[in-house]
Amino acid sequence: MLAVDRLGVRAGELDLVTEVSFTVSAGERVGLIGESGSGKSLTATALLGLLPEELTASGSVRVAGVEHELVGAPERLLTKLRGSRLAMVFQEPMTALNPAMRVIDQVAEAREVHHPGRDRVLVEADALRLLEQVRLPEVATLARAYPHQLSGGQRQRVLLAMALANDPDVLVCDEPTTALDVTVQAQLLELILAGVAERGAALLFITHDLAVVATVCERVLVMYGGRVVEAGPVREVLTEPRHHYTRGLLDASDLESTDEHGRLHAIPGTVPAAGEFPSGCVFRTRCGRADEQCADLPPWTGVPDHGHACWHPVGGDS
Amino acid sequence: MIVLRRAVILLVTTAVASLVVFALLAVLPGDPAQVALGVNATPELLAKARHEFGTDRPLPVQYADWLGGLLSGDLGRSYVTGEPIAPRLLDRFEVTLWLVGTAMVIAALVAVPLGAFAAVRHRRTSGVLVSAASQLGAAVPGFLAGILLVEVFAVHLRLLPSGGWTPPNADFGAFLRGLVLPALSLGLVQAAVLTRYVRSAVLDVLRADYLRTARAKGLGPVRALVRHGLRNAAVPVVTVLGLQLATLLVGAVIIERVFVVPGLGSLLLDAVGTRDLVVVQDVVMLLVVAVLLVNFLVDVLYAVLDPKLRRA
Amino acid sequence: MRSLVLGGALVGLIVLAALLSFLWTPYDPTLVDAALRLRGVDWAHWLGTDRFGRDVASQLMVGARTTLYVGLVAVGVAALVGTPLGLLAASGPRWLGELVARVNDLVLAFPALLLAIMLGAGFGASTGTAMIAIGVATVPSFARVARAAAMQVLTTEYVLAARSAGRRPLAISVRHVLPNVAGLLIVQSSVSFGIAVLAEAALSFLGLGTQPPTPSWGRMLQESQELLAVQPRLVVVPGVAIALAVLGFSLLGDGLRDRLDPRLKGVGDAGR
């Protein structure tokens, strides 16, 4: 359904995302994980062609049933595809809705854009039905409210309703639950899963939360320094990681295990600023296993959707 | 609710402002009777004049009298000509309003598209040029713009009169021709200032998350900006527009002097020249009330535009 | 970065001219000489002479002094009155904040020109009345900036820490808030200075500011406005001086703001 090949994002001379390749089939749920600054959100934004003006994308993004390549496609084509074939739920529920427009009008607009000329009454009925689908409480009242009168979880439901408005083939969710309470988070995840399942849509789910990935996704891509460093089925990647970065992420999220000093595990150092990642293996400055060989870029081992890029994979070569 | 609250504040502020105007002019040195009669006046004549002007009464009585007059529309009589002030004030105010209103329209018509253009193209040469030009324009004093416009359009091209005023009901064509240059000098400089605010407001909106959401829905860049951006950008712009109306009223005082337009400003400056303090007092009060009223209206409009404030 | 350099250069040029005028000017700027009326530009008079035969270059230099003097006193008064008002409004009880806001509204209703007219009507117009009028009218901008900035700093963690350690609000304002809002106040000073220059020029133009024979740019313009067709130089020279001074201070303010506000950095510089 969605095929991404060697996608890159640059700011002038600076590479922010490099050679990201993956596919998502219809009905499939793929996670994209990594720390802040790993290039996850940029990758998602680039898919929809919504990068800020100062950034440029390269490589290839294809959607099934669309003849044209999406990277560098004319704005007219992208405008037609956004919201109909490709939809996105953004991270910031507080700011992603227009503060000066009623909730229902914003949902109705998502319908209307792709159904020009449809009767206004019908469009509003559609919008109300969508808001019911995402279980917005007190729909009759809250639909007429302005965003600031809604809670974070309610706003995120509205954003989801807008994204699902035209039964998209591909849904991209950029950390949709990060800003929410744990209980609200679980409800929203269920709604997202139900939404894509009903529509047979492909889901690309971006998060830094490994537990969320484990519940939502079937396959996962691990990003670091703007590159995919490991990919594979969720169960395998999260139980037998091959890349030392994935290993580090898992250890850091495991609150049961401790190191020899009795402290929780953490990945040493911090994520470098954009443009300060080392040459060769992007992770080698924070990796305990790094040696001279890592100064060369490790090749991808395995198939595009299942493999890793490491000279010294965890568990040895096999 | 918010309107009621602001209305109460408006009333109180106006009352305090009237006290300030009265007090400032009352405590200042200078005896209106002496000014009116000259240095050779006899003490008897002075006393008689003071009695006529009412300046021999205690200050609180004078203030109450003036304030009562303001509320009933009686602004007193000029110390110099002895004529009632109210009718003349209204005539002059009408002229100033024409000038300021036209300038405001010019400023908005120029600044809103130009500012939006500069924001949308902020990374291109054309956008940078527009914002540089607006910064330069904002540094030019209005009276200098007026002098230069007169030179070009009145002296060299002989297209428009260099000054003077024809009332609209006397000869509308002449009225318009007389209005163009003073309104332009006032409006263009204001447009330069306003352009910068529009640019930064639109730039903020362009970077807003909800605009990206709108684009993700499938709205084209222009449609997204028009449907989702302009209303949100309008909130800060309307505030500035309101504040500018106050600056324009004051700027008109200067421009009227350059173009010999018989508006409030000329009345005020003439009254200062002849030390006709009661006229100064009335005109200043009128301008202050106008500024306060405009600020009040801006607050109300603000509440209409921003749903967050409606129930605050 | 460009605004900072360009604004700094313009302001620096004006300050230099003003300082130099204390030591040396080509001629006495107030010297009237009928024989030298309306001389054009030549080696003896770089910018010619005006209709009274006074040297324009010398007047321009001393005029810079007047401009800076008025601006400095006006902005100084505004900063010294407005800043504490703003800090008090931010850190004091709610009624105090409300009171300061109302006083601000009131002062805003009295633009510099009206104040100058009222003061001029009583005391006779002078450089002093102009300075005070501009200064008072500028107080609200400082109070506003100081209040907004202080509110922001007061919610940061280190201030909360100081608060929970039992420090009094006023002590916190002075020790933690003032140093952190100082940058914004410097920016505001530069912006206000530009507006003050414009206001001083307008007041002098109307005869409500600096009185003859002290040279000032606004009056130079006023005295020669009818001569524009004959000797455009006499209008253009002070006009350009005013515009460049205002531009210089507003560019300097913009440049300083970009320097101080990290939010505006980064994105634009990413492609360096």
- Asked whether residue B247 carries a pLDDT value surpassing 70, the answer given is yes
* Interface check B275 vs C, CB under 8 A: yes
* Interchain proximity A83–B231, CB inside 8 Å: no
Whether C263 has a pLDDT exceeding 50, the answer reads: no
| CA dist., res. B61 & res. C184, Å (int) | 46
CA distances from C126 to B2, C68, C118, C133, C221 (A): 43, 15, 12, 11, 17
Residue type at A62 in one-letter notation: R
C230 CB burial (10 A radius; 0-12, 13-18, 19+): exposed
Q: How crowded is residue C151: how many other Cβ atoms within 10 Å of its Cβ? A: 16
Ranges of residues in chain A whose predicted pLDDT is under 70: 317-318
pLDDT, tens digit, for every residue of B47-72?
Answer: 887 777 777 788 888 888 888 888 88
Q: Which of chain A's residues have a Cβ under 8 Å away from the Cβ of B230?
A: none
- Is the pLDDT score of C269 beyond 60? no
Distance (Å, whole) CA B71 – CA B68:
5
Per-residue DSSP letter, C174: I
What residues of chain A lie within 8 A of the CB of B231, using their CB? 100-101
Which domains are seen in chain B, by residue range? Answer: 93-273 (1.10.3720.10)
pLDDT the model gives residue A92: 78
- CATH number given to C2-271: 1.10.3720.10
Residue A280, CB-side half-sphere exposure with 13 Å CA sphere:
15
CB–CB contact B219 A53 (8 Å): no
- In chain A, where the domains are located: 1-85+169-318, 95-167
Query: With an 8 Å Cβ cutoff, are B218 and A113 in contact?
Result: yes
Q: Which residues pair with A311 in a beta bridge?
A: none
How far, in Å, CA of A203 to CA of B108, rounded? 47
Residue C267 has pLDDT above 50, yes or no: no
* Closest partner CB to B228 (pick from A76, A87, A98): A98
Contact criterion met (CB below 8 Å) for A51 and A9: yes
**Protein fold of A1-85+169-318:** Rossmann fold (3.40.50)
**Span C9-43, pLDDT tens digits:** 999 999 999 998 888 888 788 877 777 777 777 77
Cα pseudo-dihedral B157, B158, B164, B169, rounded to 10: -110
Kindly give, in sequence order, each residue whose CB lies less than 8 Å from that of residue C123, ignoring residues fewer than 6 positions away. B28, B29, C129
Task: Sort A261 into a burial class: Cβ within 10 Å, 0-12 / 13-18 / 19+.
Answer: exposed
Report CB contact under 8 Å: B213, A92. no
For residue B25, the model assigns a pLDDT of 80
Q: How far apart are CA B12 and CA C184, in angstroms?
A: 32
Other Cβ atoms less than 10 A from the Cβ of A215: the count is 14
Q: What is the pLDDT of residues A187-241, one digit of tens each?
A: 999 999 999 999 999 999 999 888 899 999 999 999 999 999 999 999 999 999 9
Any alpha helices (H) in C124-177, and if so which ranges? 127-154, 157-164, 169-172
Question: Which residues from chain C sit within 8 angstroms of residue A276, using beta carbons?
Answer: none
Q: What is the pTM of this model?
A: 0.81
3-state class percentages of chain A: helix first, strand second, coil last, to nearest 5: 35, 25, 45
Residue boundaries of the structural domains of chain C: 2-271
Residues of A contacting chain B (CB within 8 angstroms): 48, 50, 53-54, 75-76, 79-84, 87-88, 90, 92, 95-101, 109-110, 113-114, 146, 148, 159, 162-163, 165
**ipTM of the complex as predicted:** 0.86
Question: Is B220 in CB contact (< 8 Å) with chain A?
Answer: yes
